[in-house]
């Protein structure tokens, strides 16, 4: 399986008639089972790119394809996880995780069986009957991950999924996400503002330029998991990526 982005651009027309060039042109290929993080200066179009890949927005030009099939709208082969948990507060953990299966028309017994499998995978067995407000932020995000996995997508699109979680819980969620990824080998595209997070998680880091977002550089991270953040090689890659982001952010800034 291969996800292919070809000559993609995105522009927005403002109320005053002016046009903002948000993205591109941009070309990228992601292979089956890869974990790719997308980094770039604030406002460079990272979330817009992810939404276009997920079929939630249309590009101005260019194409997105999965296994050579063009993506022109929401696709059952992809699931998106947002920073906001987007859980239904009146539903239990079990019924939140089973929601996508319910939409697909699976019988209750079957969707609950599948939901329980993924609840166990994310370490929430015993919390099936709880409502989201009874859970911590990290636990709610695990429910969102389980819900995305339950529909068995080929690609997980993750937009700053741990951005609202405190640092200690965030590190724990990163470790747990890697454990889930190693078990399922889903293809993951993960948007983050954290250089440390990207170096800890990714096989490759895609660095975008400031708007309009183009690919400035793709940095491979050759280390095996689990990674030790204090290792000299980890620190070296983190320092290099941070320098690229900083240089891009400071273009045009008076000194």
Q: Is 70 exceeded by the pLDDT of residue 253?
A: no
Reported as a single tens digit per residue, the pLDDT across 26-44 is 999 999 999 999 999 988 9
In Å, what is the CA distance from 73 to each residue of 86, 180, 214?
Answer: 20, 27, 23
Reported as a single tens digit per residue, the pLDDT across 121-172 is 998 999 999 999 999 888 998 999 999 999 999 999 999 988 878 888 888 8
Cα–Cα distance measured from residue 5 to residue 66, given in angstroms and rounded to the nearest whole number? 9
Angle CA 184–196–230, to nearest 5? 100
Q: Which tokens in the block code for residue 230?
A: 């204090």
The pLDDT value given to residue 252:
56
Q: Is 70 exceeded by the pLDDT of residue 254?
A: no
Sign of CA dihedral 121, 158, 237, 172: negative
Residue written as tokens 């982001």? Answer: 245
Cα–Cα distance measured from residue 89 to residue 91, given in angstroms and rounded to the nearest whole number? 6
β-bridge pairing 2-13 and 19-31? antiparallel
Cα–Cα distance measured from residue 67 to residue 62, given in angstroms and rounded to the nearest whole number? 16
The pLDDT value given to residue 94:
97
Residues 210 and 249: beta-carbon distance below 8 Å: yes
pLDDT grade for 217, boundaries at 50, 70 and 90: very high
Reported as a single tens digit per residue, the pLDDT across 173-197 is 899 899 999 989 999 999 999 999 9
The pLDDT value given to residue 255:
46
Reported as a single tens digit per residue, the pLDDT across 93-115 is 999 999 999 999 999 999 999 99
DSSP 203: S
Cα–Cα distance measured from residue 220 to residue 30, given in angstroms and rounded to the nearest whole number? 13
Q: pTM (2 decimals)?
A: 0.91
Q: Using alpha carbons only, how large is the chain's radius of gyration in Å? A: 19
- Taking the CB of residue 162, how many other CB atoms lie within 10 A of it? 24
The pLDDT value given to residue 15:
86
Residues spanned by CATH 3.40.50.300 within the chain?
1-42+50-77+155-162+184-231
Cα–Cα distance measured from residue 220 to residue 22, given in angstroms and rounded to the nearest whole number? 25
- φ, ψ (nearest 5 deg) of residue 136: -75, 170
Percent of the chain clearing pLDDT 90 (strictly above):
73
- Longest CA–CA span in the chain (Å) reads 63
Q: Which tokens in the block code for residue 123?
A: 């370490």
pLDDT grade for 221, boundaries at 50, 70 and 90: very high
Within the chain, residue ranges assigned H as helices are: 46-53, 93-97, 99-103, 108-121, 137-150, 167-184, 195-201, 232-249
Q: Is 90 exceeded by the pLDDT of residue 92?
A: yes
Q: Is 90 exceeded by the pLDDT of residue 249?
A: no
Cα–Cα distance measured from residue 41 to residue 44, given in angstroms and rounded to the nearest whole number? 6
Of the candidate CATH numbers 3.90.550.10, 3.50.50.60, 3.40.50.300, 3.100.10.10, the domain formed by 1-42+50-77+155-162+184-231 belongs to: 3.40.50.300
């Amino acid at each position: 399986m291969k996800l292919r982005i070809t000559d993609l651009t995105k522009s927005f027309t403002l109320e005053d008639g002016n046009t903002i060039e948000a993205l591109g042109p941009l070309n990228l290929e992601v292979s089956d089972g890869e974990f790719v993080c997308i980094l770039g200066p604030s406002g460079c179009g990272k979330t817009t790119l992810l939404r276009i890949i997920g079929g939630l927005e249309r590009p101005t030009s260019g194409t997105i394809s999965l296994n050579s099939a063009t993506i022109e709208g929401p696709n059952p082969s992809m699931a998106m996880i947002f920073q906001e948990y987007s859980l239904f507060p009146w539903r239990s953990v079990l019924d939140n995780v089973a929601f996508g299966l319910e939409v697909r028309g699976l019988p209750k017994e079957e969707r609950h069986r599948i939901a329980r499998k993924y609840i166990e995978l994310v370490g929430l067995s015993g919390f099936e009957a709880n409502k989201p407000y009874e859970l911590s932020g990290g636990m709610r995000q695990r429910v969102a991950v389980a819900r995305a996995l339950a529909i068995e997508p080929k690609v997980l699109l993750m937009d700053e999924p741990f951005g609202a979680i405190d640092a200690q819980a965030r590190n724990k969620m990163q470790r747990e996400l890697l454990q889930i990824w190693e078990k399922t080998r889903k293809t993951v595209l993960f948007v983050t503002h954290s250089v440390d997070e990207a170096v800890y998680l990714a096989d490759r880091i895609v660095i975008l330029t400031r708007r309009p977002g183009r690919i400035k550089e793709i940095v491979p991270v050759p280390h095996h998991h689990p990674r030790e953040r204090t290792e000299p090689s980890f620190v070296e890659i983190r320092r290099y990526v941070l320098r690229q982001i900083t240089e891009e952010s400071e273009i045009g800034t008076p000194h």
